[in-house]
Amino acid sequence: METLYEEINDFLGRHIARQGAPKPTPKILFYVDDERFRPNPLDPEPGNLTLVELAGVLTAAGYEIEYRGRELPLSAEILQDFAEVWFFLASMSDSQPLADDETAALRAWMDKGGGVLITGDHADLDESGTGGPKGLGRAVGSRVPRARHLREWGARPGLGDGRNDSIWTPGEERDGKPQRVIVRRPVHPIFSGDEPQYFPDHPHEGAVRAPDLAREDLSGEELERWREEWLLEGSSVPDPQLIADCVNWRRGETFPLMAVWDGQVVKAGRIVADTSWHHYVHYNLEEIEGKPSARSIFDVYLGEAWWLLPRALRVRRIGGAIAEALELPAAVDYRHTPVHELGRAAVAELRRSLSRPAFAELLGALREGMPSTEEFKRDEFVVRLIGTYIKGLRARLDAGAGPEGLIGDAEDSLRRIVREAVEGYAKELKETALRLEEFASIY
């Protein structure tokens, strides 16, 4: 598989030298089994379970959102328009499970790279009060290929001491004070890793899990079905993993918050499973506006959306942002613009155009193979690295390079970029040190 840097370069070579590289607008389907998740156009006040804040954050970042529910069966024709499906599932009824043809359509779409986020909530007794506990959203969620195995759909109660309670402030979940999340190491790309991480809290969440795909407890046809569902034939398939935990302050325990599966390793779609849709609805975000933790919460939403995007769309989004940066006045006049000034302008444009996780992935592509030291994480070096990269691209573009020559050999060009950026940064640090020594000698 090509590196991300090589794929970005290929995209730029194919498109910029010809007609430009417009950024795509990925579509996300919010699939709901309860009408309370949908906005009511006739009611100016959002309902408690509406997803208005989430939809607003994603729309502002360049995604297009559409809602669908059980009124129409899922089909290949519907799914082909979407890069991702986010399942918000609250129904306790078993009357409308996903049909076999819906499951098959989902499986085919996921195998081609479609990303899935799946949520439910705790389990309750059925409406008669006589049956066993039923997980909210089970009828649909327990039928979604692969993703169904990353959540528990039955036994996690909503009441009693056994419940998953992440409430930070007792009796309050409208999130003027959201919970502090424990992010597991190494930090998953969904999270920033640079600051304390917050997320909405809730007194009775569901549960996620990360099954071992080896499943030595299975045999015969059951094992064959498992292996087929997880694409285990002839491939090195990664196991699902748990990436963050909540704290149950009532019991002094932690429990998993999110599970993920990186299907892109085997050219399938990625999956995120969350313990509860309460982490996304208006009721739990009503008091978050203007609070410092709002940025942290919304950043997770952007991290989920970006990580779930098919790789080709991520490449196009990054490539389109780079194409815009190449048209900055500082880039066009690169011959007379110091690299650090060009870098500052380009970084500002890229941060405006890309979400935090998208910009982080671009940086990761440029820094691949570099030592993970603090010096190379500092803003001053990032500015110089981006400036050197944009300058090199602009120079080739102005020289009339065609699609093949715009970038040149990807591996060689990346080495040149890094070497030039490091040498320039070292020179800048030496000059700064000399100025400080001269200043110190006065005293």
Instruction: Report the CATH number at residue 183.
Output: 3.40.50.880
168 vs 419, which has greater pLDDT?
419
Give mean pLDDT, residues 1-12. Answer: 84
In a domain, 7, yes or no: no
In a domain, 257, yes or no: yes
Residues 303 and 319 in one domain: no
User: pLDDT, tens digit, for every residue of 389-406?
Assistant: 999 988 888 887 655 556
Instruction: Quickly state the pLDDT bin for 117 (edges 50, 70, 90).
Output: very high
438 vs 188, which has greater pLDDT?
188
Residues 109 and 218 in one domain: yes
- Weakest mean pLDDT among 89-93, 112-116, 346-350: 89-93
Residue 86 has pLDDT above 90, yes or no: yes
pTM over 0.85: yes
Residues 282 and 346 in one domain: no
Looking at residue 176, its pLDDT comes to 67
Residues 375 and 285 in one domain: no
Q: Which two tokens stand for residue 100?
A: 């076999």
Contact 380, 425 (CB under 8 A): yes
Residue spans of alpha helices (H) in 112-169: 138-141
Residues 231 and 378 in one domain: no
Residue 48 has pLDDT above 90, yes or no: no
243 DSSP assignment: E
By percentage, how much of the chain surpasses pLDDT 90? Answer: 53
- Weakest mean pLDDT among 59-68, 259-268, 311-320, 412-421: 412-421
Looking at residue 164, its pLDDT comes to 63
Residues paired with 179 in a beta bridge: 199
Q: Which of 241, 275, 308 delimits the end of a domain?
A: 308
Looking at residue 123, its pLDDT comes to 66
Contact 11, 315 (CB under 8 A): yes
Enclosing H/E stretch for 242: strand 241-248
Residues 285 and 318 in one domain: no
Domain total in the chain = 2
Q: For residue 411, give its domain range.
A: 311-441
Length reported for the chain = 443
Residue spans of alpha helices (H) in 131-252: 138-141, 220-229
Looking at residue 44, its pLDDT comes to 74
Residues 383 and 296 in one domain: no
Give mean pLDDT, residues 91-99. Answer: 86
Looking at residue 38, its pLDDT comes to 94
Looking at residue 329, its pLDDT comes to 97
Give mean pLDDT, residues 80-89. Answer: 97
Contact 134, 92 (CB under 8 A): yes
Residues 171 and 105 in one domain: yes
In a domain, 15, yes or no: no
Q: Which of 308, 335, 364 delimits the end of a domain?
A: 308
Instruction: Quickly state the pLDDT bin for 148 (edges 50, 70, 90).
Output: very high
Residues 174 and 190 in one domain: yes
Residues 286 and 318 in one domain: no
Q: Which of 261, 286, 308 delimits the end of a domain?
A: 308
Q: Which two tokens stand for residue 170?
A: 């007792």
Q: What is the DSSP string of 354-415?
A: S-HHHHHHHHHHHTTTS---GGGGSHHHHHHHHHHHHHHHHHHHHTT--TTTTT--HHHHHH
Residues 294 and 320 in one domain: no
Residues 382 and 304 in one domain: no
In a domain, 2, yes or no: no
Give mean pLDDT, residues 9-29. Answer: 78
In a domain, 379, yes or no: yes
User: pLDDT, tens digit, for every residue of 328-357?
Assistant: 999 999 999 999 999 999 999 999 999 999
Residue spans of alpha helices (H) in 136-176: 138-141
